[in-house]
Amino acid sequence: MEKKIKEMHLHFQSIDKTYEKYAKSVNLNYIELAVLEFIYHEEDICTQKKISNISPFSKQSINVAIKFFLKEEIIELKEIEEDRRNKKIVLTNYGQKYASKIIGKIITAEENILRSFSNEEQELIIKFMNQYDETFFKSLLDD
């Protein structure tokens, strides 16, 4: 069992390392790439609070990424009528093109990976990932 766990860890680390290398190749750091990807994919109102609730990154790290994207005019912050304490994060026109180019490459890679599997294998991968995620969470954090 220990050997299998070690092999899984190596695969997870390899995937993380690939994201880090890709982020660097587009002049971002890993956190900035992850935040940009979240903003790009978010179909509902995107806020820093929502990003911090879903991501493993600290609020401070997310804030630094948001400030960088604001400075580069990739995003803008807009008031939320129902909740004036939080601001929604919106990609600017430039930001939409910028994110589409960067995140589009990730989407294409993920689509190509999934296409290399049969539909049944795709469903199994998703099923196993969900099962792993839920069981891991319960084992560590659910008392």
- What domains can you pick out in the chain, each with its CATH number? 2-141 (1.10.10.10)
Please tell me which of 1-5, 22-26, 136-140 the model is most confident about, judged by mean pLDDT.
22-26
Rounded Cα distance between 68 and 50, Å, is 18
Tens of pLDDT, residue by residue over 9-59, are 999 999 999 999 999 999 999 999 999 999 999 988 899 999 999 999 999
Residue 83 in this model has a pLDDT that exceeds 80: no
- Using pLDDT thresholds of 50, 70 and 90, give the confidence band for residue 136: confident
In a 10 Å sphere around its CB, with 0-12 CB exposed, 13-18 middle and 19+ buried, how is residue 19 labelled?
Answer: middle
Joined together, the tokens standing for residue 131 give 């099962």
Q: Residue type for 22, please?
A: Y
